[in-house]
Amino acid sequence: MAETQYYHHGRFQVQGGVIPDAITAFRTYGDLANPCVVFPTCYGAKLDDQLYMVGNGKALDPSKYFIVTFALFSNGESSSPSNTPVPYNGPYFPAVSYHDNIRAQYAVLTKVLGIKTVLLVIGFSMGGQQAYYWPVVYPDFVKKFVVICGSARTSPHNKCFLEGPKAALVASKDFHNGFYKETPQHGIRAFGRVYSAWALSQTWFRNHEYRYNGLYPDLDTFLREKWESRFLEAWDANDMITLLHTWQTGDISQVRDGGDLQKCLNAIKARGLIMPCKTDLYFPPEDSETEVSHLQNTAKLAVIDSIWGHMAGGSANPTDIEFIRDKVKEFLEE
């Protein structure tokens, strides 16, 4: 496994203020002489979780490409409420935007790794939204981008969904406005259960796929072991809330075109592959179709035909992983 590296930016301006010693965590795979591929994390992901796409024979092959995986600010590995010292610790950590993350990642690529150009930026969910930002913020630096179950702008519907799990966490009796001394068990468990209902499709639940071929005997066991446990074991509550803010405020048109999304999409020069899932409730394929129609023939649409909803774009289902792998390989070789 590649070693996690940490770049210290020093004093770093972000959307909500400043991080005195901002840190970006990253890993590299393959030979630096090969074309560079950037693969940032999504919500709920650490750098270890990126390995489902990285490896010999996988979508991102280290024998062909130099792959850099980046941890988002607030994911617990890069600078986050949980690991930043006073006076910016916990609920005092400033709000961070996607644009802030892209600037930080660009600094690592250019200052540390000496990258002159990036062949591909690829991401799932929040990682996909970051992939959209790259050709807007650095139009001459990126040649191609792949968005898997993501969007150029977080829709009102998506923002409304995110208010559900956020409210379940911050209103819990043990969250204490972010000043908790122990893990807010009630809040994080509630967050996980609300989040789960949107991550997978109605058909997936109706088919009792949550039993995972007998691994989970009933729905409650699935929710407790798969969703409550996932966030309780690996996540800090303030990190979760801060990262949700990054997601909710995603909008590439705020970087350059004053909120005119169509104009911003029209101006993208990099070639894109947009891969929504047919049953995704977060980022529905209709939104992706609209985005592709404004990309001036520089992008194509490849819908993941799956009942796995949003999770089809992640590592949940081998069939979907194979579909994504084949499409990405084809796109890389074009």
Taking the C-alpha atoms of residue 208 and residue 18, their distance in angstroms, rounded to an integer, is 47
> Which residues, at least 6 apart from 195, have a Cβ–Cβ distance to it below 8 Å?
165, 227, 231
Residues 127/261, Cβ–Cβ less than 8 Å = no
Cross-sheet strand order for the sheet of 271-275: 5-14, 17-29, 66-70, 36-40, 118-124, 142-148, 271-275, 299-301
Taking the C-alpha atoms of residue 206 and residue 9, their distance in angstroms, rounded to an integer, is 48
**DSSP-derived 3-state class of residue 215:** coil
Q: Which residues are catalytic?
A: 125, 280, 310
Residue 42 identity: C
In terms of Cβ atoms closer than 10 Å to its own Cβ (0-12, 13-18, 19+), residue 152 is: buried
Taking the C-alpha atoms of residue 32 and residue 229, their distance in angstroms, rounded to an integer, is 38
133 phi/psi in degrees, rounded to 5: -70, -35
User: Residue holding tokens 């969904």?
Assistant: 161
User: Residue holding tokens 């005195």?
Assistant: 20
